[in-house]
Amino acid sequence: MSPGRAGFQDGALSGGAMLGLALAALAAGVGGVAAGAASETETVDARVTAVAVPAGSRAVLARARLESPARYRQARAAGARIAATPDRRSFYVMSPPGARGGRAIVTFHGYLSTAFDGFAHFRAEAARRGYTLIAVQWRLGRTSRESYTPRQMYAQARALLRRAGVGRGEALLHGYSSAAARVYGVAALDRRGSRRFALAVGDAGGARPGLPMYGEVFGGGMGPRPLAGTRWVLFCGGRDPDPRLTGCPIMRRTRTLIRRRGGRVERFLVDPRASHGGFHENPANQRVALDVFARLTR
């Protein structure tokens, strides 16, 4: 992805006509979208949604719109802000658009889903609790090489939380599936950095060798206790189609790894009847995690 033009700003475009022109330009730049699959493993200011993306973000946004058209329309209807990430390579979805301070949720979608899906999963409960919701599109292309690394994920999340006025220890970090396998690195970086997150949720994505930052976090590269001070909720579905990568066996091993590296697992949620997306499909699972977050941030 090339960087965005200097003339674009991370802000709102006013007026429905300008919005329509922007979206038409975005759609024109995309030739097609790969079909989704059941598993997520690796093989805006007023009533009008704000959309503001520089050139480097257009293809990413256009592809996500085509992959999740209904969820995109829902985000627009909800008045969410859709704008360029701080590095101008991707985009994020945020509600309320002009939120300042308070608690926040930062969510990273699964590999075969989009930021619009992540936003939809948390929108109702975040609104009910009065939390700012920020969903970041971390997958930039069709392959794992065209994706944010954990360091890049953390950089975007930290900058967006700072812009929103969210203080230290006032945010929840959530990663689903392939993103969950990366949030262990994000959480370790946060403990060395600004400590924005009070709780991290590893949602159906285990830590395993070969994934980004595994060696640094769990292999000793960042020292013996890089997760010291982190708090966790882990989730797995009993009917996950790939238990070695995203199901309960690897999530149990991940719980052990987190504890060995200094982290504390507040809750380990096992939904026996759930498949891969069970954390959101059963609202009770999500509420448990958010209740833990509320307790930690009182």
**pLDDT per residue as tens digits for the range 276-298:** 999 999 999 999 999 999 999 99
- DSSP per-residue codes, 138-182: -B-SSSTTSB--HHHHHHHHHHHHHHTT--TT-EEEEEETTTHHH
Is residue 275 one of the residues assigned to a domain?
A: yes
Residue 270 lies in a domain: yes
**Is 161 part of any domain?**
yes
The Cα 288–Cα 39 span in angstroms is 24
Query: What tens digit of pLDDT does each residue of 91-133 get?
Result: 999 999 989 999 999 999 999 999 999 999 999 999 999 999 9
Instruction: Give strand pairing partners of 199.
Output: 172
DSSP structure class, residue 5: P
Does residue 10 belong to any structural domain of this protein? Answer: no
Which segments of 172-247 does DSSP mark as H helices, in order?
A: 180-192, 214-218
Tell me whether residue 271 is in a domain.
Answer: yes
User: For position 122, which CATH number holds?
Assistant: 3.40.50.1820
pTM over 0.95: no
Does residue 169 lie within any of the structural domains?
A: yes
Q: Which of 167, 140, 166 is nearest to 153 (CA)?
A: 140
What local confidence, expressed as pLDDT, does residue 28 receive?
36
* CA diameter of the chain: 55
Euclidean distance between CA atoms 111 and 175, whole angstroms: 10
- Residue 3 lies inside a defined structural domain of this protein: no
Q: Are 242 and 250 in contact (CB under 8 A)?
A: no
186, 218 contact by CB (below 8 A): no
Check pLDDT > 90 for residue 50: no
The tally of domains found in the chain comes to 1
Range of the domain at 210: 16-296
Rounded to whole angstroms, how far apart are CA atoms 54 and 100?
24
Q: What per-residue confidence (pLDDT) applies to 55? A: 63
